[in-house]
Chain A
Amino acid sequence: MTSNPTEEAEELDLIRAAQAGRRSAFEALVRRHHVRIIQLCGSLLGNQAEAEDAAQEVFLKAYVSLTRFEGDAAFGTWLHRIAVNHCLDLLRKRARRKTDSLDELVEREGRAIEAADLAARLLATLPEEQRVAITLRETQGLNYEEIAKVMDCTVDSVKGRLKRARETLEKSLRHFLSAGGV
């Protein structure tokens, strides 16, 4: 996220200009944030191929709602919130399609299962709010307060979600390793 005051002031100017309809200002904002948003989409979806398409839709949604951005949170936080909601929608749609359980996958593919696939499947076993919290913390490096803003919850909730996510992932990973995976 934006770190120093000069960058923040510069970003605020870009946001105001983009809200006033200056195309180049919005383009500059996309340039600033696109790598992190693509990475976030990739982490949440567990599918790199879909990450760019999802991120593209995120920026379009941001453009459409740009006039509603009032600057009470950082622009990056706001974009993260849009990205999280968009990816959760995609995941819910995807969840309707049946997939193999992790145990079925290990039985079928044995040790050949790829680390990225394993990560995606174990993360998918977490409740949404834990999955989002741990992804924002570990892959995006957001602090507790930023995560709370993105997820619209308290810092204490963030701590609880991270704790439960880590406990579950630890157990799942141990179970997977003892079953002979990776």
Chain B
Amino acid sequence: MAEMHDSEKLQAYYDGELPPVERARMQEHIKSCADCRHAVERWREVARTLLEPPILRPSDRFVAAVMEDVDALERPVAERAAWLPGWLVPSLALAASVLIFYLSLPSSIVNFDSETMLLSGDETQLAMVLGSQPPRPDEVLGLALEQQP
């Protein structure tokens, strides 16, 4: 009876996965096979030392705490925001409106790179960089014009 060393079957026996007839056959084999017997004993030892299920007594409040979380999820957003400090609500609203305004600007205005704005040739953008009125060409080119014969 000691010829059987099918480790997969032995593991299935240990894990209680064999059908009754095979289980009985394996039990008989183990009685006469020291290798298989020791393998099963080692697995038991590992499980006992390292894999004992933790003895946990959940707190009495556990279920209630989960249901509080669930209720908080179901509450309307406005009600959920009620825990925020009073001063924070208008500040957040202001920050949000500034952000929305910024995002709604055309990308050409949002781009504050003065070099790009100067080169764009657009009067509005020139005014933003140089002042309220765009300079006349002779103001910009004054020096060059003066040097002309």
5 A-B pairs in the complex with CB atoms less than 8 angstroms apart: A26-B70, A38-B58, A56-B66, A63-B70, A140-B53
Tell me if B15 and A35 are in contact (CB < 8 A): no
Interface string of B27-49 (1 = CB under 8 A from A): 00000000000000011011101
Tell me if A166 and B15 are in contact (CB < 8 A): no
Tell me if B53 and A39 are in contact (CB < 8 A): yes
- Bound-state CA distance A139–B65 (Å) is 25
Interchain pairs with CB closer than 8 A, number? 99
Interface size of B in residues (CB-CB distance below 8 Å): 30
Q: In whole Å, how far is A113's beta carbon from the nearest beta carbon of chain B?
A: 13
Residues of A within 8 A of B (CB): 23, 26-27, 30-31, 34-35, 38-39, 42-43, 48, 51-52, 55-56, 59-60, 63-64, 115-116, 118-119, 122-123, 134-135, 137-140, 143-144, 159, 162-163, 166, 169-170, 173, 182
B11 within 8 A of A: yes
**Known contacts being A38-B58, A137-B15, A159-B12, is A27 close to B63, with CB within 8 Å?**
yes
Tell me if B49 and A64 are in contact (CB < 8 A): no
- Bound-state CA distance A39–B73 (Å) is 25
